[in-house]
Structure 1
Amino acid sequence: MSQPPSNPYPGSYPPHQQQPGGYQPPQQPQYGGGYPPAPQQQPQYGGGYPESGQPGQQYGGGYPEPGQPGQQYGGGYLETGQPGYGGAAPLPPKKKSSVGKILLIVLAVVLVLCVGGGVALWLGVKDEVGDVVTATKTRLVEPPTLAGRPKITEPELQSAATQMKSEIAKDVPNATSTVGAFYGEPAKKDMVMIAGASGVIADPQKEMADAITAITPQLGAKEFKTVDAGPMGGEAKCGDGKADAIPVAVCIWADKGSLGMVVVYFKSAAEVQPEFVTMRGEIEKQG
């Protein structure tokens, strides 16, 4: 006896056909006769943040409820209101992840601190004794909050920050401290990344120039202007850049004891300048 043909409509049941293999026929939807409600938002991959009030789809949960013939697995959902009869509808485009933007900035910072400028941390190299003593007392820290922003604990951002610190420590072995962290609330378009290293720097002005040269092609940064460095002294400059069309403000400081960077997403350099001194003061410490 010939076998009945396999179901040519994956994810749906053709009308008025008996189900092979003893399966129970699908029940009618329990939604008042209409189509099943639209599925929840497709989960984000690679570190994006779901929109407020729309939790990600849970996995590991068996089969679709009866009356939902259009649900697909492993590839998204059918368009809202289109059941699976007559062939699957085209899948909606995947949302673009923000991880690319983050990693671009992380890589740019690593380039500045480790490869491009290369933070010339030379312990005791031809500096005056007073400068060396002051520089060796300089430490960079990751405060629990930065200018009122909480430290971000999202796993992927934490992983990126850890990797950044690891690369800095590996390529700048004489560093006495390193920092790399994210602060703010990304869902509210408020996010700050910090990165830096401390140690005796022979020529802060050269390190500042090298840092700007290295980061300019990475973030399209331009028009770096000298800004108030604050009570810690040294040199400080801020400029505007972009990461995947997202505006970012980049502020860099360099002194005899450290080189650091603050990257603020979704803001311009002019907006960041008033709080730059506050942020630097919370990151760089003496003694």
Structure 2
Amino acid sequence: MKLLRYGPTGQERPGLMDGQGQVRDLSGVVQDIDGAALSPDSLAKLAEVDPSSLPLVAAPGRLGPCVGRVGKFICIGLNYADHAAESGLPVPTEPVIFTKATSAICGPDDDVIQPIGSTKLDWEVELGVVIGTEARYVSEERALEHVAGYCVINDVSERAFQIDGTGTWDKGKGCDTFGPTGPWLVTKDEAGDVENLGMWLKVNGELFQNGSTKTMVFKPAFLVSYVSRFMSLQPGDIISTGTPPGVGMGQKPPRYLVPGDVMELGIEGLGAQRQTVVVETRV
């Protein structure tokens, strides 16, 4: 299934994409696409619903983030050897974990706001792993039993905030709109081989990232198991698993985003996103 959320910010309704690419309303079946809807039992019930029996959403308008009420937004750094190399850093011997503020989460096509003081705004296409059942100290062999599905994430990053000064990663990762998520949550039974999915990102039509999840250092099952040693993973939590090479920081010379730039990105079978960079106007 391709599960999604549509409607104005803060008023999203649950939906699914049917086999004809049309949005169907799920609000008569579940309240939201959130942790409560992502358990195996809940997903099994949703799978039994005939999409043609659901109301057709003729004009869904804005797509929201495909998961609502995310508790933890966990990210893995330097999880592609070639990205580590372009960053001038060694390949980690174990996963680098950091978090993005959940207030960074936005819809897949929402504008990305350049924060005040930003000088090094960057992009990162990533595979998101969405948790369906609580995971605590799970083995790698059983880790994927706790996964509901997968999605596309743009781990938007402000490198000056992240690396310069005190060099605290969270500062450069958690600004508002720095976590476009979606367009859909694709359940794991339909996501294909998530260890071998093509992924790409363009800026203003120019291809910068053209990679595959097959070059991940640490695979999704290992990451779920590893993270669960240090914190319990709850239904609706998201793990963003790192990016392939081609980020702005790695260009020679570096190429950072400015207002008006348009990012387009996607992962094979999981959909595509499109964001325009805009100036912060709320202060």
Higher strand content, 1 or 2: 2
Same fold, judged at TM 0.5 (above): no
Larger radius of gyration: 1
Bin for the TM-score computed over the shorter chain: under 0.3
TM-score by length of 1: 0.24
